[in-house]
Amino acid sequence: MIVSNYLAKRFEELKQRSEAALIAYLMAGDPDLSRTLEYARALEAGGADVLELGAPFSDPIADGPVLEEAAQRALRQGVHLQDVLHIVRELRKSSTMPIVLLSYYNPILRLGEESFARRCSEANIDGVIIPDLPMEEAASWVNQARKYGLARVFYATPETDNERVRKICECSSGFLYLVSRYGTTGAREALAETAIPLLERVRPLLPSDLQLAVGFGISTRPQIESVVRAGADGVIVASAVVARIAEGITPEALSAYARDLKEATKRSRPNLSNR
Amino acid sequence: MAISSASKPSVLTPKLAELPREGKFGEFGGQFVPEILMPALQALEKDYLTIKTQARFQNELKSLRADYCGRPTPLYFAKRLSEHAEGVQIYLKREDLLHGGSHSVNNALGQALLARELQRRRVICATGSGEHGLSTAMVCALLGLQAEIYMGATDMERQKTNVEQMKLLRARVHVVTRGSQTFKDATNEALRDWVTHVKDTYYLIGSSVGPHPYPMIVRDFQRVIGDEIKGQLLRRGQRLPDLLVAAVGQGGSAIGTFFPFGQDEKVRFLGVEAAEAASLTQGTVGVLHGAKTYLLQDEHGQLQPTRSLAAELDYAAVGPEHAFYKKSGRAEYIAVSSDEALEGFRLLAELEGILPALEAAHAIYAGVQRAKKLKRDQIIVITLSGRGEKDLKVIYDRQQLSGQAI
């Protein structure tokens, strides 16, 4: 099986350093493509380990208002899936940061699963997340992603029982995206009550080559410290980044924000030798 | 895939049509939803298939359909409309006479009973014209459930009376100001509510759309329309109809009309879309709101805005079973413009003394046009899915705008 190099390598390096990955999200084309590139470089400079790059969709049902409005802004710029692939190629000229692309299924279907997978691979994208494609509908996608060496990132949620988690892990590669709470994307002040018990439940079910990244509602150092302490291999910060961009944050200030969050991923981690 | 896209209707075994295989009608349907909803959908399918076989459930449904909703609805022979259409026999299935004024209550009642069986006291829904919202508010009041209704700001403006009625029925109405502020956006919001409250909330989908098992559940509760048509014609000593005509927005009343005749190969189906939101006649295959079906989308897979005068037809997708009927050739779908629908409205008002809902007016217009091409002894049944009072403001505004009398 081909595993995306940048992603697997990055997780391996982080493991050596006892750090979790800071996975930061950008909506491609918000506020425009050139600034998405600037912000991506700023996140990398600030220490973000993985870039999760969103492709805009008109009807993003898993997203809260912050990401939906970002998608609307990007769509008004005329940004579509092809443009997202294009800026990844641009970014790759100067960066080896692992990149996972997030797109709702319909734009992928429109392009064709195989054509999409091929283009992702050509652009050196490491993995793909499709929020409205559960494993039951993903058989052909999993084959294409395998063929083109893309990590297949699926979700597990507080509703997903252990048996289902195991099945999802079988389809997955790269990392498993753990949805920390009920609801849509969006920053919250406190970590959801569901987050830590879920992490502790799912952690032992993972095969050793699959990482566990926690997202939904995470935006602060204490939240990151908690989930890292509970065994997360990565944390995903999305709406908090996008909200700052909507407020016109400078790339330098975004770097500083990433640097601050990155510190929180470096705390002492549990002994993982029992995995 | 159990049914190839090229299958002829005769290949459709009743069993297969009854229960979609792996949640699909041919290649259409399915469960394209966030992971957090999958366990709930799987549980709903299992529970529904159990509950629907229980005599107690069926008896209560039957009794409330009769005494609360007013079923069976008449199958009315529209003599003057038939004469206008040059002699073909046109029957109207009078779903407009139901409690609440539309076919929506058939489904809302069935699903609200299901919600109560599943011990979900909080019920959410999205509504376009407000008919489904109104029906949901009514049955939730009846069964002591809390209704939360999502409705686009544009739709609230054009369907004010329905909104007022919902509020009087103690439903909470949430105005949706995102996106195009119509049914598609209301559905997005309802789905977001559901992912947040999936543990204690029942999502009462108003038509044969959405992820499996909803298209099947809604069709099962709406098939009473077609079942009654069949029985009523046969009791009159009539034969089966030559043509069934129904408006298709999301497709609930149409699938309820067509489905019981699925195996009667001589009965043809005509689904009538709004030309301004014609996903079946002008759309391409894609995935929206949990199902693979025909969509109005651009070349990048983004959904396109729709602009029908009839709120309930104003939707960029359509129920997956209709997508299957279209691709397999079992049903024919055509599009009728808002102006043509107003002509249908005028005809029914002037010839039969009935004000149809704008949605149904599309079917009336198409039915009459088609009737003119048929032989004199043929039988057409048009589903009159709702009454027209809710649309008077829209019609009046349009009249003002064009400076014409309707």
* CATH label of the domain that carries residue A219: 3.20.20.70
Does A275 fall in a domain?
A: no
Residue A96 domain flag: yes
Look up the ipTM and state it.
0.95
Whether pLDDT at B17 is above 90: no
Answer yes or no: do A106 and B301 touch at CB < 8 A. Answer: yes
CATH C-level class of B70-102+222-402: alpha beta
All residues of chain A having their beta carbon less than 8 Å from the beta carbon of residue B300 are 80-82, 107, 110
Q: Tell me if residue A137 is catalytic.
A: no
Output the average pLDDT for chain A: 94
pLDDT at site B252: 96
- pLDDT at residue B305, as a whole number: 83
* Sign of CA pseudo-dihedral A7, A79, B194, B98: negative
Number of residue pairs across A and B with CB atoms under 8 Å?
114
Query: Which residue in B260, B178, B239, B216 sits closest to B14, CA to CA?
Result: B260
Nearest to A106 among B22, B196, B286 (CB): B286
Q: What is the average pLDDT value for chain B, to the nearest integer? A: 92
| Lowest mean pLDDT, pick from A30-39, B192-201, B302-311 | B302-311
Contact A182 B196 (CB under 8 A): yes
What would the 3-class secondary structure string for B22-69 be?
CCEECCEEEEECCHHHHHHHHHHHHHHHHHCCCHHHHHHHHHHHHHHH
What are the C-alpha distances in Å from B268 to residues A178, B19, B333? 49, 22, 11
Assess A193–B contact: CB distance below 8 Å, yes or no. Answer: no
Cross-chain residue pair B286–A64, CB shorter than 8 Å: no
Beta bridge partners of A32: none
Whole-angstrom Cα distance, residue A214 to residue A206?
Answer: 14
Question: Residues B394-399: what's their mean pLDDT?
Answer: 83
In a domain, A273, yes or no: no
Range 235-294 of B in CB contact (< 8 A) with A? 285-290
- Residues of chain A with C-beta less than 8 angstroms from the C-beta of B196: 182-184
pLDDT at A86 > cutoff 70: yes
Tell me what pLDDT residue B273 has. Answer: 96
> CB-based contact (8 Å) between B81 and chain A?
no
Nearest by CB to residue B303, choosing from A58, A111, A154, is: A58
* DSSP 8-state class, residue A148: T
Among chain A residues, the shortest Cα distance to B289 is held by A61
CB contacts, 8 Å: A160 with chain B: 35-36, 38-39
Question: Over 90: is that where the pLDDT of B8 sits?
Answer: no
Does the CA dihedral B305-B309-B315-B316 come out positive or negative? negative
Contact call for residues B178 and B190 (beta carbons, < 8 A): no
User: Can you say whether residue B170 is alpha, beta or left, with left for phi > 0 and alpha for psi between -120 and 50 degrees?
Assistant: left
Q: Which residues in chain A have Cβ-Cβ distances shorter than 8 Å to B306?
A: none
Q: Which of B28, B21, B35 is nearest to B292 (CA)?
A: B28
Q: Domain extents for chain B? A: 31-62+104-218, 70-102+222-402
Span B203-239, pLDDT tens digits: 999 999 999 999 999 999 999 999 999 999 999 988 9
Amino acid of residue B263: Q
- Residue A187 near residue A67, CB atoms below 8 Å: no
- Give residue for tokens 């052909």: A140
pLDDT band at residue B404 under the 50/70/90 scheme: low
Give the Cα-Cα-Cα angle B147, B148, B154 (nearest 5 degrees).
130
Instruction: Look at residue B5 in the predicted model and tell me its pLDDT.
Output: 40
Contact B36 A131 (CB under 8 A): no
Contact B40 A179 (CB under 8 A): no
Q: Quote the CA–CA distance of B43 and B362 in Å, as a whole number.
A: 37
Q: Shortest Cα distance from B301 to chain A (angstroms)?
A: 4
Cross-chain CB nearest to B301 (options A109, A158, A168): A109
SS3 letters for A182-238?
Answer: CCCCCCCCCCCCCHHHHHHHHHHHCCCCCEEEEECCCCCHHHHHHHHHCCCCEEEEC
> How far is the C-alpha of A182 from the C-alpha of B37, rounded, in Å?
10
Is residue A63 among the annotated active site residues?
yes
Beta-ladder partners of A236 = A23
- Closest to B236 in 3D by CA, of B5, B76, B28: B76
Do the Cβ atoms of B123 and B387 come closer than 8 Å? Answer: no
Q: Which of A19, A30, A63, A83 is catalytic?
A: A63
Distance (Å, rounded) from C-alpha A203 to C-alpha B155?
46
Is-same-fold flag (B31-62+104-218; B70-102+222-402)?
A: yes
In the sheet where B146-152 sits, what is the strand order?
B172-176, B146-152, B122-127, B201-203
Judged by DSSP in three states, B163 sits in helix
A21 occurs within a structural domain: yes
H helix runs in chain A, sequence order: 5-16, 33-46, 65-76, 81-92, 105-111, 113-122, 139-147, 162-171, 195-202, 221-229, 239-246, 251-264
> Using 50, 70 and 90 to split pLDDT, how confident is the model at B313?
confident
Query: Worst-scoring range by mean pLDDT, A33-37, A188-192, B116-120, B354-358?
Result: A188-192
Catalytic residue among A19, A52, A68, A225: A52
The boundaries of the domain holding residue A150 are: 5-263
Fold annotation for B31-62+104-218: Rossmann fold (3.40.50)
Count of domains observed in chain A:
1
Residues of B in contact with A75 (CB under 8 A): 302
Q: What are the tens digits of pLDDT across the range B33-74?
A: 999 999 999 999 999 999 999 999 999 999 999 999 999 999
pLDDT of residue B87 exceeding 90: no
What is the average pLDDT across A217-225?
95
